[in-house]
Amino acid sequence: MQAKKEIVAGRLYIQTMYSAGMLPGMRPVERRGRQRAQTEAKRRINLVERIYHLVQLFELNFKHGRDLFVELSFREEPTRKEEDRALERFHRKMNRYFHSRGRVYRYILVRETHNRDGDVVRVHYHLICTGTGRRMQEVIAEAWDAGSVDVRSLRDSMNSFEDTCRYLLKERKGTHERAYRSSRNLKRPEEPLRRKVPESETGEVPPGVEPVRVEMNGSNPYGRYSIIVGQIVDPAAFGRYWAKAKMDKRRAAESANWKRYARQKKKMGNN
Least confident range of 29-43, 235-249, 256-270: 256-270
Instruction: Compare 132 and 16 and report the one with higher pLDDT.
Output: 16
CA distance 47 to 54: 12
How much is the pLDDT for 155? 86
Mean pLDDT computed over every residue of the chain: 89
How much is the pLDDT for 219? 65
How much is the pLDDT for 158? 61
Amino acid at 8: V
How much is the pLDDT for 159? 65
- Using one digit for the tens of pLDDT, what is the confidence trace for 158-198? 667 888 998 898 888 877 888 999 999 999 998 999 988 88
CA distance 94 to 72: 14
pTM: 0.81
